[in-house]
């Protein structure tokens, strides 16, 4: 059975999360390294206060997922594919050997910093359940104004789609879709309008920074955010890492591609189980598990048998 490792993005973090990683010396090592690179402490990274900033959230997500991946790597267990949702793509690329952990940590720090400083509280994201992409795109187009720009952003599943942009604009759309067929629609607790053209500049900056690095060809194929293709060379990974922030994440297609390639065992790196639940809702005959819930020992056992 083919397997894929999934790296979660923003929304999976929780206070004190780095204390809940598997107990393994290699994880301890990576945590220490992170503190050194960032010149901070674990407590400072995952405190409630710091997790209110995009930067710390992205750092914590990368540290949690990559350090856990290292345990698998040490055990000689390598998945057939990797994929990461939004900032999770940096974890996936690190797992695939494209980036060093240090470079990845610096990049997501920069990414988080730029994201949180580019727009004020008047911007954010929302999620709509139970309405299909076409209909939502049409509605969003009708509510769009230059003063209150809004965009359809991440396609997490055929029935779970996010919107990004001006909060006022988003509220208009939410109000409308609630009365026109959506099962649920609400604002997300973020103040960054991610994965839409409002972040075009960040995409350019990230590409500039990525171009300075000595990147390696992925040793595991990566399913991409932007166009849900399998990435096998450096330039494509680079482009996806940089530009994903200003394009929708086509997560459903990215996982569906892995499914069609034959992946039936999906393992989600910590923290949380957001991607696991999505996969179990969308695909009938996959086995999706999260390290956070199932534990690393059981996942290791499943993968090596």
Partner 1 sequence: MVLTNTESLERKMRSWTTRLDAKKERVSSVRDIVDGVVIPTNRIVEALERLIKPGDRVVLEGNNQKQASFLSQSLVQVNPKKVHDLHMIMSSISRPEHLDIFEEGIARKIDFSYAGPQSLRIAQMIEDGKVELGDLHTYVELYGRLFIDLIPSVALVAADKADRHGNLYTGPNTEETPTLVEAAAFRDGIVIVQVNELVDELPRVDIPSSWIDFVVVADKPYELEPLFTRDPRHITDIQILQAMMVIRGIYEKHGVKSLNHGIGFNTAAIELLLPTYGESLGLKGKICTNWVLNPHPTLIPAIESGWVESVHCFGGELGMEQYVAARRDIFFTGKDGSLRSNRTLAQLAGQYAVDLFIGSTLQMDAYGNSSTVTKGRVAGYGGAPNMGHDPGGRRHSTEAWYNMMTSDDPLARGKKLVVQVAETFQEANKPVFVESLDAISVKDKANLAVAPVMIYGEDVTHVVTEEGIAYLYKTDSSSEKREMIASIAGVTPIGMEHNPKSTERLREKGLIALPEDLGIRRADAKRSLLAAKNIDELVQWSGGLYTPPAKFRSW
- Binding residues (CB under 8 A) for partner 1: these are 130-135, 158-159, 181-183, 227-229, 253, 256-257, 260-262, 285
Decide whether 97 or 158 has the Cβ nearer to partner 1.
158
- Candidates 86, 157, 166, 244; catalytic one: 86
Scan for tokens 């099962």, then name that residue.
183
Least distance in angstroms from the C-beta of 167 to partner 1: 25
To the query of whether residue 166 is one of the catalytic residues in this protein, the response is: no
Structure tokens at 107: 């990049």
Smallest separation, CB 259 to partner 1 (Å): 9
For residues 55, 61, 64, 68, the Cα torsion angle rounded to the nearest 10 degrees is -140
**Computed from CA positions of residues 217, 275, 254, 10, in that sequence, does the dihedral angle turn out positive or negative?**
negative
Distance CA 99, CA 57 (A): 19
Query: Packing angle between helix 101-118 and helix 88-95, nearest 10 degrees?
Result: 170
User: At closest approach, how far in Å is the CB of 228 from partner 1?
Assistant: 7
Closest distance of CB 85 from partner 1, Å: 18
At a CB cut-off of 8 Å and minimum separation 6, what does 155 contact? 133, 161, 248, 249, 250, 251, 252, 253
Tokens of 151: 């965009």
* Catalytic status, residue 85: no
* Cα torsion angle, 293, 193, 198, 46, sign: negative
Which residue matches tokens 């680079």? 238
Out of 46, 85, 148, 195, pick the active-site residue: 195
CB of 242 to partner 1, least distance (A): 20
CA-CA-CA-CA torsion for 78, 60, 250, 175, nearest 10 degrees? 150
Asked whether 71 and 35 are in contact (CB, 8 A), the reply is: no
| Minimum CB distance to partner 1, residue 262 (Å) | 4
Give the tokens for residue 97: 């050997």
Question: φ and ψ at 32, to 5 degrees?
Answer: -60, -45
3-state secondary structure of 186: strand
Non-local (6+) Cβ contacts of 179 within 8 A are: none
Identity of the residue, 69 or 252, whose beta carbon is nearer to partner 1 in the bound complex: 252
Across-strand partners of 289?
267
φ/ψ (deg, to 5) at 61: -60, -45
Q: Which residues are catalytic?
A: 86, 195
């Amino acid at each position: 059975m083919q397997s894929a490792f999934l790296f979660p993005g923003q929304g999976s973090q929780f206070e004190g999360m780095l204390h809940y990683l598997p107990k393994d010396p290699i994880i301890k090592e990576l945590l220490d390294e992170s503190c050194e690179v960032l010149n901070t402490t674990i407590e400072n990274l995952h405190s409630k206060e710091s997790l209110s900033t995009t930067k710390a959230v992205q750092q914590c997500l990368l540290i949690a997922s990559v350090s856990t991946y290292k345990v698998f790597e040490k055990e000689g267990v390598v998945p057939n594919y990797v994929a990461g949702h939004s900032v999770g793509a940096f974890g996936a690329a690190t797992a695939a050997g494209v980036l060093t952990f240090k470079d990845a940590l610096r990049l997501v720090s920069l990414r988080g910093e730029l994201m949180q400083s580019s727009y004020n509280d008047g911007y954010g994201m929302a999620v709509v359940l139970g309405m299909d992409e076409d209909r939502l795109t049409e509605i969003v187009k009708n509510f769009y104004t230059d003063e209150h720009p809004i965009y359809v952003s991440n396609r997490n599943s055929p029935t779970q789609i996010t919107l990004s942009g001006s909060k006022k604009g988003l509220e208009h759309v939410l109000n409308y879709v609630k009365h026109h067929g959506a099962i649920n629609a609400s604002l997300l607790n973020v103040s960054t309008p991610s994965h839409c053209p409002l972040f075009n500049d960040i995409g350019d900056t990230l590409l500039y920074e990525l171009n300075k690095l000595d990147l390696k060809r992925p040793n595991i194929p990566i399913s991409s955010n932007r166009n849900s293709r399998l990435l096998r060379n450096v330039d494509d990974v680079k482009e996806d890492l940089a530009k994903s922030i200003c394009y929708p994440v086509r997560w459903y297609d990215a996982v569906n591609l892995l499914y069609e390639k034959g992946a039936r065992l999906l393992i989600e790196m910590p923290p949380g189980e957001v991607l696991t639940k999505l996969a179990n809702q969308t695909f009938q005959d996959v086995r999706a598990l999260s390290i956070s819930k199932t534990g690393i020992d059981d996942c290791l056992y499943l993968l090596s048998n």
